[in-house]
Amino acid sequence: MRRNIAKATDGKPAGERGSMAQTSVVGGTDPEAHYEAAQRTTAPLSEFMTRLIAQELPILDSTSRSIINAALREHKEAGKPQITCVAELPTEVREIMNL
């Protein structure tokens, strides 16, 4: 038996009915917003920087992603402080991401 999806939402888009997400902050651009996934990473990045990097990683090739992951891992293992802005990113990360 098939479920009638149109009936469940009365034909309205999710932003009007059915979704409780604030459409103005979906995508992680609000520095004051908090996201569960960004809070549970082991990267040496603040929550906001985690969201910014996560948005850019999918458009990079696998070699670039590997270099970025290695640079962030080295940063953490060296005991350096948490990265809270673009200027604090390791040089190779900024070069790869053209920042």
Q: What is the mean pLDDT of residues 7-22?
A: 53
User: Of 20, 22, 55, which Cα lies nearest the Cα of 37?
Assistant: 55
Least confident of 12-21, 66-75, 88-97: 12-21
Dihedral angle computed from the Cα positions of residues 56, 61, 64 and 66, in that order, rounded to the nearest 10 degrees: 100
- Asked whether residue 4 carries a pLDDT value surpassing 80, the answer given is no
What pLDDT does residue 66 have?
94
Q: What is the pLDDT of residues 47-68, one digit of tens each?
A: 888 888 888 888 999 999 999 9
Q: What is the mean pLDDT of residues 1-20?
A: 52
- Asked whether residue 26 carries a pLDDT value surpassing 50, the answer given is no
- Asked whether residue 9 carries a pLDDT value surpassing 70, the answer given is no
Q: What is the number of other CB atoms lying within 10 angstroms of the CB of residue 92?
A: 14
Cβ atoms of 69 and 62 within 8 Å: the answer is no
Kindly report the pTM of this predicted structure.
0.65
For 48-80, give one letter per residue: b (16+ CB within 10 A) or e.
Answer: bbbbbbbebeeeeeeebeebbeebbeebeeeee
What pLDDT does residue 1 have?
46
Domain regions of the chain by residue span: 33-99
- Asked whether residue 17 carries a pLDDT value surpassing 60, the answer given is no
Cβ atoms of 82 and 71 within 8 Å: the answer is no
